[in-house]
């Protein structure tokens, strides 16, 4: 039997579930700043670059990344949680199985976004081995330079082809 009280409870349950699906995770401290990614020319392909303002919330497990153009309009937004990563652009929403697949789509190259989240905090990603290096560390085939982290700078570079570099200037370093 469908009573008004049962209908109200069911409605509240549906609304809470929808709200839970629609909200973006806010775990962890917020990071914001400028991000520049450069892919060097290789195999006949011209160099490519992306420069954007960013806001990052969350962890490698769940979070969101908001990218804006130099003029302040939204370029893309990424949201992720276990088993799902979404990329939202003016062309619509695309879903991926993980952050690596999303990064491949967004940048056209492999970039370990889960690790980058920790690198932007000035530390190695705990899910992979790392080696100390002058001014920073090496991890996943990348050199991470955090020698100027106190000033808000994080530099990451990969030497294997295609050579890739990421430069981040944090507005509020942790």
* Mean pLDDT, residues 138-157 taken together: 97
Burial code of 50-87, b = ≥16 C-beta within 10 A, e = fewer? bebbbebbbbbebbbbbbeeeeeeebbbbbbeeeebeb
Q: What is the mean pLDDT of residues 72-89?
A: 93
Host domain of residue 151: 4-170
**pLDDT tier for residue 172 given thresholds of 50, 70 and 90:** low
Lowest mean pLDDT across 8-22, 38-52, 62-76, 106-120: 8-22
The count of structural domains within the chain is: 1
CATH number of 113's domain: 2.50.20.10
pLDDT value of residue 142 = 97
Q: Which residues contact 76 (CB under 8 A, 6 or more apart)?
A: 67, 87, 88, 89, 106
């Amino acid at each position: 039997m469908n009573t008004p009280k049962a209908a109200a409870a069911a409605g509240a349950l549906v609304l809470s579930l929808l709200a839970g699906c629609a909200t973006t995770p806010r775990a962890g401290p917020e990071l914001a700043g400028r991000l520049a990614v450069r892919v060097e020319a290789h195999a006949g392909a011209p160099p490519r670059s992306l420069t954007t303002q960013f806001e990052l919330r969350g962890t490698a497990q769940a979070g969101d990344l908001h990218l804006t153009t130099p003029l302040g309009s939204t370029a893309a937004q990424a949201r992720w949680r276990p088993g799902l990563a979404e990329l939202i652009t003016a062309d619509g929403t695309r879903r991926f199985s993980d952050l690596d697949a999303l990064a491949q789509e967004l940048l056209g190259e492999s970039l370990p976004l889960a690790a980058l989240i920790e690198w932007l905090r000035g530390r190695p990603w705990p899910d992979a081995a790392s080696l100390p290096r002058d001014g920073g560390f090496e991890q996943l085939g990348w050199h991470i330079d955090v020698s100027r982290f106190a000033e808000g700078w994080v530099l990451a570079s990969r030497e294997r082809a295609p050579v890739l570099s990421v430069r981040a200037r944090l507005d509020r370093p942790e």
